[in-house]
């Protein structure tokens, strides 16, 4: 049997310094040694439970990282100051001058920009492919390819990657599968499905309160040790260290993640179904007409639902913008980027989170300028929220428009 991510996390007991039920926040950049020989040894190799300097390891960060490893079923994990830090450190650890990455085209805008514009400065080229087309993924692999990169549920189109097929291809070519699971913590367990490394923006669902940015990398003990190596490690040398106060607050929030994910999914499923019934084009993996609905049903940890993200396609940017302004006015949520918050957040990906991607490329990906991406909140009365959205649509008169009524 594969691990149970939520219950395993519930079973992860932490004893604080004085037996506290939460770890003590280690308010120290550096740590003392009773013996100089131990210090010298720690520079040579990792020693479990031994701390040197907070950019290397910090006890509070270690407590959060261990909790993430338990949740993912990985041997180890490392936490970082942002999701982008986790992604850039993991990829830069694996690929250098002359190496290549094969990546899905429909990825987070920041990651796309990192691969497309930043990593080529260091001699790392990325072949972007349609991640749904596994034949194209395999064809893009060259002798220089070090990894396949994808998002388990892609941003913003909510396509669900075939992780077992991608990992099979990666391993047959002797390379790694790196998966960004930011949209689907607990819902999808990439390592159970064959992935080698999972990266997260903890900023989103895992923390859930939008009070900080943070990230994580989960993988083998060997890989995590490589990242913190004092002479060659990407997190050690690039230095995107998470502050221990934040690590402690994220860990506290993470213990309610299973309850929150179920509610996000329940609410998003409800809105997706009701909005689709109005004749609107809705992208949500929990809808029967979503192209990867059956596929996701097979891969997912069922009890957590199909996630909190849905996309409503208003076809035109002006309509998307008007709807978002009305929804903010009607207290549906906030016009803001980011996701995984207890309030609903919405933005138009084409002109915000995916704006790093050129317009022609956006069209190639299937992004429509009228898309409204919604991260559905933890609303207790989602029917009331639905009625508020419906009133906005009624006031805009769009429900009378034939074009929008085409049932997809
Ligand atoms: C937000 C996000 C990131 C980047 O994370 P930060 O914490 O903002 O650095 C990466 N991937 C996905 C899918 C995201 O949504």
- Output the pLDDT for position 254: 97
- Output the pLDDT for position 366: 79
Examine the pLDDT at 402 and tell me if it is beyond 70: no
- Output the pLDDT for position 50: 86
- Output the pLDDT for position 304: 98
* Whole-angstrom distance, CA of residue 46 vs CA of residue 11: 26
**Where is average pLDDT lowest: 94-98, 337-341, 358-362?**
358-362
Q: Taking residues 350-361, report their average pLDDT.
A: 75
Read off the pLDDT of residues 230-270 as tens digits, 9 standing for 90 and up: 999 999 999 999 999 999 999 999 999 999 999 999 999 99
Examine the pLDDT at 349 and tell me if it is beyond 90: no
CA of 218 to the centre of ligand 1 (A): 15
Burial class from Cβ neighbours inside 10 Å (0-12, 13-18, 19+) for residue 391 reads middle
- Output the pLDDT for position 382: 98
Half-sphere exposure of 218 (CA within 13 A, CB side): 27
**Where is average pLDDT lowest: 108-112, 137-141, 213-217, 328-332?**
108-112
* Whole-angstrom distance, CA of residue 127 vs CA of residue 405: 38
- Output the pLDDT for position 408: 45
Residue whose C-alpha is closest to residue 401's, from 273, 279, 276: 279
Residue in the block written with tokens 């992935």 = 195
Alpha helix (H) residue ranges in 73-191 = 83-94, 109-113, 134-139, 163-172
- Output the pLDDT for position 82: 98
Q: Which of 110, 114, 180, 250 to mutate to test the pocket of ligand 1 (most atoms within 8 A of CB)?
A: 110
Per domain, the residue ranges of the chain are 5-254, 258-404
Report residue 278's pLDDT band, with 50, 70 and 90 as the boundaries: very high
Examine the pLDDT at 112 and tell me if it is beyond 60: yes
**Could you tell me the strand order of the sheet in which 100-104 lies?**
76-80, 215-219, 197-201, 176-180, 145-151, 100-104, 125-129
- Output the pLDDT for position 77: 98
* Whole-angstrom distance, CA of residue 126 vs CA of residue 336: 30
Q: Tell me which residue has its CA closest to atom 4 in ligand 1.
A: 83
Cβ(399)–Cβ(393) under 8 Å? Answer: yes
Q: Taking residues 139-151, report their average pLDDT.
A: 98
Burial class from Cβ neighbours inside 10 Å (0-12, 13-18, 19+) for residue 98 reads exposed
CA of 10 to the centre of ligand 1 (A): 25
Read off the pLDDT of residues 166-220 as tens digits, 9 standing for 90 and up: 999 999 999 999 999 999 999 999 999 999 999 999 999 999 999 999 999 999 9
Strand partners, 346: 335, 374
- Output the pLDDT for position 363: 80
SS3 170: helix
Q: Which two tokens stand for residue 151?
A: 């998002």
* Whole-angstrom distance, CA of residue 337 vs CA of residue 133: 29
Strand (E) positions, 288-398? 309-313, 333-335, 344-347, 371-375
Read off the pLDDT of residues 115-133 as tens digits, 9 standing for 90 and up: 999 999 999 999 999 999 9
**Any residues with CB less than 8 A from the CB of 377 and at least 6 apart, and which?**
264, 267, 308, 333, 341, 342, 343, 344, 345
Read off the pLDDT of residues 39-84 as tens digits, 9 standing for 90 and up: 888 888 888 888 999 999 999 999 999 999 999 999 999 999 999 9
CA of 15 to the centre of ligand 1 (A): 31
Q: Which of 204, 207, 214, 238 to mutate to test the pocket of ligand 1 (most atoms within 8 A of CB)?
A: 204
Name the percent of the chain lying above pLDDT 70: 97
Q: Quote the pTM value.
A: 0.95
**Which helix H or strand E contains 101, and what residues bound it?**
strand 100-104
Q: Taking residues 289-304, report their average pLDDT.
A: 97
Residue whose C-alpha is closest to residue 99's, from 149, 40, 160, 156: 149
- Output the pLDDT for position 401: 61
Q: Which fold has domain 5-254?
A: 3.40.640
- Output the pLDDT for position 198: 98
**Any residues with CB less than 8 A from the CB of 304 and at least 6 apart, and which?**
6, 186, 187, 258, 261, 262, 265
Query: Mean pLDDT over all residues of the chain?
Result: 94
Residue whose C-alpha is closest to residue 175's, from 188, 199, 194: 194
Q: Tell me which residue has its CA closest to atom 8 in ligand 1.
A: 83
| Secondary structure, 3-state, 283-300 | ECCCCCCCCCHHHHHHHC
Q: Taking residues 363-387, report their average pLDDT.
A: 93
* Whole-angstrom distance, CA of residue 396 vs CA of residue 394: 5
CA of 100 to the centre of ligand 1 (A): 22
In CATH, the architecture of 258-404 is Alpha-Beta Complex (3.90)
Half-sphere exposure of 74 (CA within 13 A, CB side): 28
What DSSP designation does 153 have?
B
Examine the pLDDT at 403 and tell me if it is beyond 60: no
Q: Taking residues 153-164, report their average pLDDT.
A: 93
SS3 317: helix
Examine the pLDDT at 22 and tell me if it is beyond 50: yes
Name residues contacting ligand 1 (CB within 6 A): 82-84, 108, 110-111, 151, 155, 180, 182-183, 201, 203-204, 213, 215
Cβ(23)–Cβ(251) under 8 Å? Answer: yes
């Amino acid at each position: 049997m594969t691990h149970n991510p939520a219950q395993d996390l519930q079973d992860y007991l932490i004893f604080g310094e004085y037996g506290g039920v939460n770890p003590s926040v280690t308010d120290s950049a550096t740590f003392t040694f009773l013996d100089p020989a131990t210090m010298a040894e720690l520079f040579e190799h990792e020693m479990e439970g031994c701390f040197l300097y907070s950019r290397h390891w910090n006890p509070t960060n270690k407590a959060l990282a261990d909790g993430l490893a338990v949740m993912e079923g990985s041997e180890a994990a490392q936490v970082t100051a942002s999701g982008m830090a986790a992604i850039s450190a993991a990829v830069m650890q694996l690929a250098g001058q002359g190496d290549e990455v094969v990546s899905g085209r429909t990825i987070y805008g920041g990651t796309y920009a990192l691969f497309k514009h930043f990593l080529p400065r260091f001699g790392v080229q990325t072949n972007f492919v349609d991640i749904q087309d596994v034949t194209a993924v395999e064809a893009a692999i060259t002798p220089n390819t070090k990894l396949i990169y994808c998002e388990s549920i892609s941003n913003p189109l909510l396509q669900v990657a075939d992780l077992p097929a991608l990992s099979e291809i990666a391993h047959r070519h002797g390379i790694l599968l790196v998966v960004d699971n930011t949209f689907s913590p607990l819902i999808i367990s990439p390592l159970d499905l064959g992935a080698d490394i999972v990266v997260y923006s903890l900023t989103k669902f895992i923390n859930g309160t939008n009070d900080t940015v943070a990230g994580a990398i989960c993988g083998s003990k060997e890989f995590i040790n490589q990242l913190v190596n004092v002479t060659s490690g990407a997190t050690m040398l690039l230095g995107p260290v998470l502050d221990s106060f934040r690590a402690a607050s994220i860990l506290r929030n993470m213990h309610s993640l299973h309850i929150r994910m179920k509610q996000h999914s329940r609410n998003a499923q409800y809105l997706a179904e009701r909005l689709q019934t109005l004749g609107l084009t809705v992208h949500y993996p929990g809808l029967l007409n979503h192209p990867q609905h059956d596929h996701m049903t097979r891969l997912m940890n069922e009890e957590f639902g199909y996630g909190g993200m849905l996309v409503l396609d208003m076809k035109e940017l002006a309509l998307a913008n008007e709807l978002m302004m009305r929804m903010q006015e009607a207290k549906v949520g906030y016009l803001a980027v980011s996701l995984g918050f207890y309030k609903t957040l919405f933005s138009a990906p084409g002109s915000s989170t995916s704006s790093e991607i050129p317009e022609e490329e956006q069209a190639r990906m299937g992004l429509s300028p009228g898309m409204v991406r919604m991260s559905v909140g933890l609303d207790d009365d989602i029917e009331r929220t639905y009625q508020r959205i419906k009133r906005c649509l009624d006031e805009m008169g769009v429900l009378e428009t034939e074009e929008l009524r085409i049932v997809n």
